[in-house]
Amino acid sequence: MLDRACTRLAEAVGTDDFDGDAIPALLRAAAVDPDGFKLLFRYAAREPDFRDLIDSVTAASRDVARRNLARRIPAGPWLDWAANLIPTFTLEAVIAWLDAGRPDPDQAAERIGQAVRGVMAAALPSHQTEL
């Protein structure tokens, strides 16, 4: 079941670059299979039997985030911070959205995107304020 959830997620969101369609695609994938999404990112993450799978998904997400963020955030500890935080935050935001009953599905991606952009802005050097 976890392998199917991973495959569906990769097909919906992609595995290489995150763009403006990534968060809406993630929300759509979560809405289509909320139980699979939660199983993968909430419950399996806590189970030692699935640690390798979750660690590989997490590492891949960080690598893609780092590569994408490096276009806007200078190399260093704040890039590392953002690359670790944004995938985790985004997944938790989607799970919280599911748990809240999927409010405002037409606005959810933009709201989550605003928060992600806030993390990106916080990672910029103080003299650089635009993403």
CA 93 to each of CA 26, 129, 130: distance values in angstroms, whole numbers, following the listed order: 11, 24, 24
pLDDT of residue 16: 67
pLDDT digits (tens, 9 = 90+) for 54-100: 888 888 889 999 999 999 999 999 999 999 999 999 999 999 999 99
pLDDT of residue 29: 87
Please state the domain extents for the chain. Answer: 2-123
Please give the residue that has the higher pLDDT: either 68 or 127: 68
Give the pTM. 0.84
Taking each helix axis from N to C end, the angle separating 77-99 and 22-32, rounded to the nearest 10 degrees, works out to: 40
Main-chain phi, psi angles of 42, to 5 degrees: -110, -55
Q: How confident is the model at residue 113 (pLDDT cuts 50, 70, 90)?
A: very high
CA 113 to each of CA 50, 51, 95, 97: distance values in angstroms, whole numbers, following the listed order: 29, 28, 15, 13
| Contact predicate 84/126, CB 8 Å | no
In the CATH scheme, what is the code of domain 2-123? 1.10.357
Q: How confident is the model at residue 53 (pLDDT cuts 50, 70, 90)?
A: confident
- The residue with tokens 């890039």 is 79
pLDDT of residue 36: 84
